[in-house]
A and B are shown apart, each in its own frame.
Chain A
Amino acid sequence: MSDAVLKTIKSLPDRFFKVCETIGRTVLLFFSSVGHLSYFTGKALKHVFSPPWYPRLLIRQCVDIGYYSLPVVGLTALFTGMVLALQSYTGFTRFNAESAVAAVVVLSVTRELAPVLAGLMVAGRVGAAIAAEIGTMRVTEQIDALTTLSVNPFKYLIVPRIIAGTLMLPVLVLIGDIIGVFGGYIVSIYTLGFSPGSYLTQTWDILERMDVISGLWKASAFGFIVTLMGCYHGFNSGRGAQGVGAATTYAVVSASILILVSNFLLTKLFFS
């Protein structure tokens, strides 16, 4: 047997242990992160239900998260509805099923597209801003200053944001539902030549209360996820500009992934 082969055989146990070490470290890190996040979530929820509350801060966060996200969510919903109408029409003409366009637009928008896209847009706009703001407060010792001023940082910083996110995203999605359906209507009437009366009748006939309500529940869950991730990563931000930058990235990425995963679970819960 050549020296090279012998050397390779001798190094096999080392390589095996190195692979095991890497897998072990990754698994431990994963469970440690899940543990930290669960603890943070539990602590945040505990503070949601115990006084003192800060109504002034809650209103400010509602305006920041709800009102200022309206243009982004509205535009996203409008163009999504328009594209959906166009795509459905071009696809359905192959089966002579053009009349289903109104149903597809309203069901897709209310059940899926408005909550998910609004959630993702808000994750980018609000989740990133929350992580950057709280992360900067961590780095500049403002969170420590809150503690020395007898104010619990969880109650002052985390609770208002989480409540505002959970309450405001359903409102945004409801508005997004209307705008999205309106976008589909515009394209269907002015480009595809549908009759306004029959389009609206079809939309109204196919729509059930559960379609809207399920979307709003999803939105509420996504609002919670986005704000929780922003707060969690900001609160545990590393030092310096790099730490805050990383916190912002993690907040957006983790919120986006969790939105997609929880969307599947919630859809299964509501419709299966």
Chain B
Amino acid sequence: MSATESQTMIEMQGVYKAFGEKVVLDGVDLNVGKGQSLVIIGGSGSGKSVMLKCILGILQANSGLIKVDGKETKKMNAREQNKMMNRFGMLFQGGALFDSLKIWENVAFGLIHAKKMDREEARDIAVQKLKQVGLAPQVADLHPAELSGGMQKRVGLARAIATTPEIIFFDEPTTGLDPIMADVINDLIVDCVKDLGATALTITHDMACARKIADHVAMIYEGKIIWHGSVHALDNSGNPYVDQFIHGRADGPITKHADFKAA
């Protein structure tokens, strides 16, 4: 572990979140070191996205502790929360681009509204960020609906890095993309995170993506982190759940579709 990684950037202790009677996070304990790229793997509906939203404050955990750079998020007032948000960048699964705005306005959104930057200056930075993710300047004046899924993901990535955040979240960055485009996005993520020296937290069930961008991998199952280790230790985790998941086997301790099988 490097010197920067020794500092904890994100800390979760016993985080519990339920929607009615459905428990999604059942005491999650997780640490992400500064400058580390942690990938959380887990099946659909295992609570990965909810965990991310709890860290971001979009959802409130029922109990437990979440700290960002040593500060407990629950105890922050509106101004501190806003300040914390300025340190985050996020790439959403579906892009979540604002379809009423042009591409450059999407990318420059955080610069204009959160950093109060002049529109002309923000546009220049947006075009530069678009170039960084491999998109031509002509794309800047289009609307999101005019772009392909892969291009939308790139725009989402450009928006996530536009404000040079210290912490970046990637929610299923390669879902819905063809293998080549997925690899392009993975390369871009690695480059962007390295360039910024940012802490990255990615959730995915795409193992190629996990292996490419992770320093560390954690697996979530039934609302708990059941394994956490270096990406190099993934193939020899000694955890039957991790083994089954990374090899994509139907047989194993994860009996998600048992009901269907029985039927």
Q: Which residues of A contact B (CB under 8 A)?
A: 137, 140-142, 144-145, 147-151, 156
Contacts and interface: CB of A to CB of B under 8 A. Distances in A.
A63 to B, nearest CB: 13
Interface residues of B, number: 24
B85 A148 contact: yes
A148 B88 contact: yes
Given A141-B96, A144-B53, A145-B90, A151 B109 contact: yes
B73 to A, nearest CB: 13
Interface in B137-173: 159, 163, 169
A147 B98 contact: no
Contacts of A137: 98
A185 to B, nearest CB: 41
Contacts of A149: 85, 109-110, 113-114, 159, 163
Contacts of B99: 142
B56 A147 contact: yes
Q: Which of B57, B92, B163 gathers the greatest number of chain A CB atoms within 10 Å? A: B92
Contacts of B89: 148
A88 to B, nearest CB: 45
Interface in B79-106: 82, 85-86, 88-90, 92-94, 96-99
A74 to B, nearest CB: 26
15 contacts: A137-B98, A140-B94, A144-B56, A144-B96, A145-B92, A145-B97, A148-B56, A148-B85, A148-B88, A148-B90, A148-B169, A149-B110, A149-B159, A150-B85, A151-B114
Given A150-B82, A150-B113, A150-B114, 5 more contacts: A141-B94, A142-B96, A144-B96, A145-B92, A149-B114
A140 B94 CA distance: 7
A182 B164 CA distance: 60
A142 B88 CA distance: 16
Nearest to B56: A148
A140 B96 CA distance: 6
B263 interface: no
A151 B105 CA distance: 14
B58 A147 contact: yes
Given A149-B113, A150-B110, A150-B113, A144 B58 contact: yes
Contact of B86 (A141, A142, A144, A150): A150
Contacts of B113: 149-151, 156
Nearest to B84: A150
A142 B82 CA distance: 18
A140 B171 CA distance: 13
Given A150-B110, A151-B109, A145 B98 contact: yes
A142 to B, nearest CB: 5
Contacts of B109: 149, 151
Contacts of A151: 109-110, 113-114
A212 B225 CA distance: 66
A142 B96 CA distance: 5
Nearest to B53: A144
Nearest to B119: A56
B44 to A, nearest CB: 15
